[in-house]
Each structure stands twice: as C-alpha cells, then as structure tokens.
Amino acid sequence: MKKSRFSEEQIIAVLKEHQAGIAVVDICRKHGISDATFYNWRNRYGGMEVSDARRLKALDDENRKLKKLLAESMLDVATLREALGKNF
C-alpha cells in the first residue's frame, strides 16, 4: 500500500477544519488533495481524535500479524496432513 504524505494527526486536523465550517473545495486547495481523498479520509477518520487514530493503527498492525500467523499455521497443518496421508 502506498505511504500517505499525511500522518493520521494531519488528516484529523484537516477534517477538524471542515467541521469548523471551511468549505471542502477550500480545504482541498489549501492542502493539495482531491475531493475524493478528502471524502475517503472523512469516511475512515471522521469523528476520531488523534488517540483513536493511533489505536486504530495499532489494532490494524496487530490484526495483520495475527492473520499472518494463522496463515502460516494453516500451511503447517496442511503440510503435516499431506505427509501423514502419504505414509499411511
């Protein structure tokens, strides 16, 4: 996945500007982003505080690690089943 130019803190600050009453077009022009990017950010980070975004990132990292461990263990189980099936 492509690394964003903006951190979670910066994204939340941009969204707070919109909540303060600044128009989306002006915000997008000021920060050099597209309307689609702004609305994607709003869908993902809308209503969050910085601490919430950090916690979300930590949970995403943990989820990715757990999925990797599960995939590795399933591969090990499949390999063992295949080996046992050939011997008996």
DSSP track, 56-76: HHHHHHHHHHHHHHHHHHHHH
- Tens digits of residue pLDDT in 36-87: 999 999 998 888 888 988 898 899 999 999 999 999 999 999 999 988 887 6
- pTM of the shown model: 0.63
Binned at pLDDT 50, 70 and 90, residue 35 comes out as very high
Is the model's pLDDT at 32 over the cut of 90? yes
Helical spans, DSSP H, in the chain: 8-19, 24-31, 35-45, 50-87
Q: Which residue has the higher pLDDT, 88 or 11?
A: 11
Q: Which pLDDT score, from 0 to 100, does residue 1 have? A: 55
